[in-house]
């Protein structure tokens, strides 16, 4: 029996444009945010998101349901393209564009309080800068675990490394960021 995602893929393969539209709508925001988390730039993320979906559309036939979930497959395709892009460009700025402009577009109304809002902006800035200082492996593991909320096994499948390696990378990444936080607290005497 086919699952929901498999049916959707089947429909896409039979030329159902509405089904493809559903896929784009369902994963568009996620892929865009994933790209942003790797690149820290909204303009690059938009281009990358488009390229990722073009690749997904062209390679839809290569998806095998028995090999894993459709979401994992999409994220793997996205991750590979982002890595390719990273290798081509060889550098990502740690922060891109205006923080203020980006924060305005944050889809979160949980912090109507200005002070809380400022704290969140400060925290997100720290995380972006902190992630930028990590090695690509540690950064990727943290992005997929903490921001994408993927399981260890999914991350292992996407990154094609053993699950133990994933756990180790995540732990090391967290420790590095916590150390950065310590330094920052010691330097500024403030807590985020």
Partner 1 sequence: MECRATEERLDEYIASSLPAEEMEEISRHLGGCANCSLLSKELQTLQSMWDCYPVLEPDESLVDRILLRTSGRPRTRSLQERLQSILKYSLLNPRFAAGAVLATAFVLVSCGLLLPRIAEQYSELSLKSVASFMDRSVHRLYGEALKINEARSEWQARFTFYKNTTWNKLRSVVERIEAPVERPSELEERIPPDNERSKLGDDWSVAAIRKSRTGSNTGDEV
Does position 91 bind partner 1 by CB under 8 A?
no
Among 116, 173, 111, 113, CA closest to 139: 173
Residue 82 CB partners (closer than 8 Å, separation 6+): 34, 35, 38, 39, 48, 52
Per-residue string for binding with partner 1, 56-75, x by CB under 8 A?
-x------------------
Q: Which two tokens stand for residue 178?
A: 């916590």
**Sole binder of partner 1 in the list 1, 17, 62, 115 (CB under 8 A):** 17
Could you say whether residue 90 binds partner 1 (CB under 8 A)? Answer: no
115 is a contact residue toward partner 1 (CB under 8 A): no
Joined together, the tokens standing for residue 151 give 């399981």
CA dihedral 71, 27, 108, 138 (to 10 degrees): 50
Interface with partner 1 in residues 129-168 (CB under 8 A): 146-147
Interaction between residue 181 and partner 1 (CB under 8 A): yes
**Dist. CA 69–CA 173, nearest whole Å:** 26
**CA angle (98 as vertex; 130, 170 as ends), nearest 5:** 20
Interface with partner 1 (CB under 8 A): 17-18, 20-21, 24-25, 28-29, 32-33, 36-37, 42, 45-46, 49-50, 53-54, 57, 102-103, 105-108, 119-121, 123-124, 126-128, 146-147, 170-171, 174-175, 177-179, 181-182, 185, 191-192
């Amino acid at each position: 029996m086919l699952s929901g995602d498999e049916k959707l893929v089947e429909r896409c393969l039979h030329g159902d444009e509405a089904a493809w539209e559903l896929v784009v709508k369902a994963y568009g925001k996620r892929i865009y945010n994933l790209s942003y988390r790797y690149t820290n730039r909204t303009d690059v993320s938009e281009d990358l998101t488009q390229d990722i979906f073009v690749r997904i559309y062209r390679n839809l036939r290569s998806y095998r349901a028995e090999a894993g979930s459709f979401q994992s497959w999409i994220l793997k395709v996205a991750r590979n393209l982002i890595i390719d892009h990273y290798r081509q460009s060889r550098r990502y700025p740690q922060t891109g564009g205006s923080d203020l402009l980006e924060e305005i577009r944050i889809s979160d109304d949980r912090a109507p309080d200005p002070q809380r809002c400022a704290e969140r902006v400060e925290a997100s800035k720290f995380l972006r800068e902190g992630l930028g200082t990590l090695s690509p492996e540690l950064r990727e593991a943290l992005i997929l675990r903490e921001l994408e909320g993927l399981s260890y096994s999914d991350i292992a499948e996407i990154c094609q490394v053993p699950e133990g390696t994933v756990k180790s990378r995540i732990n090391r990444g967290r420790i590095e960021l916590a150390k950065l936080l310590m330094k920052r607290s010691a330097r500024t005497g403030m807590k985020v």
